[in-house]
Amino acid sequence: MATIHHTAVVHPTATVDATATLGEQAIVGAGVTVGAHVRIGDRAILWRDASVGDLATIEEGAVVGEGTEIGAGAKLAAHAKTGTNVRIGIRAVVMSRVVIGNGSHVDDGAHVEMRATLFGGVMVGKDAFVGNRTRLSNHTIVGVGAKVAQRVVAGRETVIGAGATIDKMVTLGQRSRVDKGAFVPPRATVPDGGRIDKGAFAPPPAPGPKQAWLG
């Protein structure tokens, strides 16, 4: 039988695996499915028809929107929130106080850092990285393996190609495009409709053995 704190609330139509754990004052809504070995933290909320895959973790105060799917092994950290019909992929990581808008998709293995905001319809590709306090406006696309550093602002319908790197505090205008594998240096501004081709800016030297790329 699942380990459910006596103050947690589980709707009668929800399905909670016998190996799951629900914390204090957690709420599991109608039609929700909670998989094997899932951990739901204190005061977390799973709204109607959400699903949480095996071995996933929903930490304290996190909110999973209606119809949202959390993949197996994924993590939604403390006080992160998703809108409706969001998909968080297998082993994806969404850190604390991230806000993900309706219909957005964070693919398998992607990582979204603290306090980032993804507005509606944003797509973050497999193994991509989104830095802390970055804001991705509606229908922005971040390609497979792309890296978007901290405090980047991307306008509506921006496209960041697979393997591209956007360094810190960059501003990307609406409908701008960064090509596959391109690099945008810190604090650069790309105008509305602008395009950055691969090779437009020289990437920084590869980090040494004691250095790391800081998102």
- Mean pLDDT over 133-155 rounds to 98
- Say if residue 5 is in the same domain as residue 95: yes
Mark whether 80 and 121 lie in a shared domain.
Answer: no
How many distinct structural domains can be found in the chain? 2
Report yes or no on 16 lying in a domain.
Answer: yes
Q: How many CA atoms lie within 13 A of 172 on its CB side?
A: 34
Above 60 in pLDDT, residue 214? no
Say if 183 falls within a structural domain.
Answer: yes
- pLDDT value of residue 126: 98
Predicted confidence (pLDDT) at residue 31 exceeds the cutoff of 80: yes
**What is the Cβ-side half-sphere exposure of residue 144, based on CA atoms within 13 angstroms?**
2
Percent of the residues in the chain that have a pLDDT greater than 90, as a whole number: 91
- Out of 57, 76, 103, pick the residue that ends a domain: 103
Q: How many CA atoms lie within 13 A of 41 on its CB side?
A: 17
Q: Is residue 110 part of a domain?
A: no
Residue 207 has pLDDT above 70, yes or no: no
Q: Would 187 be classed as within a structural domain?
A: yes
Residues 67 and 135 in one domain: no
Q: What are 32-78's pLDDT values in tens digits?
A: 999 999 999 999 999 999 999 999 999 999 999 999 999 999 999 99
Share of the chain above pLDDT 70, in %: 95
Is residue 213 one of the residues assigned to a domain? no
In a domain, residue 201? The reply is: no
DSSP-derived letter for residue 205 is P
SS3 of residue 69 by DSSP? strand
Question: Does residue 162 share a domain with residue 98?
Answer: no
Determine the residue type at 156.
R
HSE of 48 in the Cβ direction (CA atoms, 13 Å)?
A: 1
The DSSP result for 156-199, as a single string, is TT-EE-TT-EE-TT-EE-TT-EE-TT-EE-TT-EE-TT-EE-TT
Chain segment 178-206, per-residue pLDDT in tens: 999 999 999 999 999 999 999 888 777 76
Residue-number span of the structural domain to which 142 is assigned: 117-194
Residues 99 and 121 in one domain: no
Specify whether 89 is located in the same domain as 1. yes
Are 96 and 1 found together in one domain?
A: yes
Is there a single domain that holds both residue 13 and residue 52?
Answer: yes
The whole-number pLDDT of residue 192 equals 98
Choose the final residue of a domain: 103, 133, 166: 103
- In this structure, the answer to whether residues 17 and 67 fall within a common structural domain is yes
Which CATH number covers residue 62?
A: 2.160.10.10
Same domain for 60 and 127, yes or no, is: no
* Whole-angstrom distance, CA of residue 127 vs CA of residue 184: 19
